[in-house]
Amino acid sequence: MRYGFIGAGEITAAIVTGLSDGVAEPPEVFLSPRGRTVGRELAQRFPNVRVCAGNQDVLGNATAIVLAVRPAVAREVVGELRFRPGHTVLSALAGIPLAALREWTAPARTVVRTIPLPQAERRQSLTALYPDDPVARELYEQVGGVVVPGDEAMLDAFSAATATFAAHLDYLATIAGWLAEHGVAPEQADGFVTHVFAQLGQSLGTDSLAALTGKHTTPGGINEQLKTDLREAGVPGAVRHALDGVLARLRG
């Protein structure tokens, strides 16, 4: 399989690195000239990677095309391209439905929406995709695993869930900032919070999230106190409301 990437940002760099770094026989990869610095660095690191002269040149060399430009410019960029019926189009464009993608990329017969994660760089991305497709699976199983929701509406919900990354990190930064307000050196506070939650993250996947919450909630303990205070302050409802807003935006 020969992979082409239209757009050369963080996600493209992560996937290409995962496909290439330390791999005995990596696939051929053709990159868009957009993001020339990223493309040049990837091509210098990996002999299987080539930066093309133009986006159409990417389509001429590759059979599976990953669309990874900003959604705001996607229609303009994709509209300038001429796809072949044999192309498999793998869209990483948040909020662009299959119906529009199929129209933009006709006569390509196969279009798949995907949500690759930055962890693809370490081959640890769990990529949500819809509809199921062997070419999409072949790519994303090389950089982690895949999950296939039941329909396109569920895929939008998966996409909305990825909007929580910055909020989660801001929550951790708030804890570290609180420690600093109580006299802890900022770098020590950051280091402690990072360590605690990195170790906690290693326990994820062994039980359900509800079960893990129960394990860390001692009746009458300080974890129970903080969780109860946050719930009574309406934090879970605020999170759900914010996610509903993101989902509404993704669905237009």
Quote the radius of gyration of the chain (alpha carbons, Å).
21
pLDDT at 37: 86
- H or E element at residue 91: strand 88-91
Average confidence (pLDDT) over 35-48? 91
Q: How does residue 34 score in pLDDT terms, banded at 50, 70 and 90? A: confident
pLDDT at 142: 98
Which of 30-34, 87-91, 185-189 shows the lowest mean pLDDT across its residues? 30-34
Domain ranges of the chain: 2-148, 163-250
Could you read off the pLDDT of 144-162 as tens digits, one per residue? 999 999 999 999 999 999 9
Could you read off the pLDDT of 100-148 as tens digits, one per residue? 999 999 999 999 999 999 999 999 999 999 999 999 999 999 999 999 9
What residues have CB less than 8 Å from 18, skipping those under 6 apart? Answer: 120, 121, 122, 123, 125, 142, 143, 144
Say yes or no to pLDDT of 36 above 80: no
Could you read off the pLDDT of 56-84 as tens digits, one per residue? 999 999 999 999 999 999 999 999 999 99
| Domain 163-250, CATH among 1.10.3730, 2.60.40, 3.30.450, 3.40.1800 | 1.10.3730
Identical fold for domains 2-148 and 163-250, yes or no, is no
pLDDT > 70: what percent of the chain?
100
Write down the residue that tokens 């609180």 correspond to: 178
What CATH number does the domain located at 2-148 have? Answer: 3.40.50.720
Closest CA to 66 of 108, 24, 20, 23: 108
In terms of pTM, does the model score above 0.85?
Answer: yes
Alpha-carbon separation of residue 129 from 91, 147, 157, 177 (angstroms): 9, 6, 12, 37
pLDDT at 154: 97
Q: Tell me if 135 sits within 8 A of 215, measured CB to CB.
A: no
pLDDT at 48: 98
Could you read off the pLDDT of 201-236 as tens digits, one per residue? 888 877 899 999 999 999 999 999 999 999 999 999
User: Where on the phi/psi map is residue 12: left (φ > 0), alpha (ψ -120 to 50), or beta?
Assistant: alpha
pLDDT at 43: 95
Alpha-carbon separation of residue 25 from 11, 47, 237 (angstroms): 22, 11, 49
**Cis-peptide into 116, omega within 30 deg:** no
The three-state secondary structure class of 252 is coil
What residues have CB less than 8 Å from 116, skipping those under 6 apart? Answer: 11, 14, 15, 92, 125, 127, 140, 143
Question: Which tokens in the block code for residue 233?
Answer: 């302050």
Say yes or no to pLDDT of 250 above 90: yes
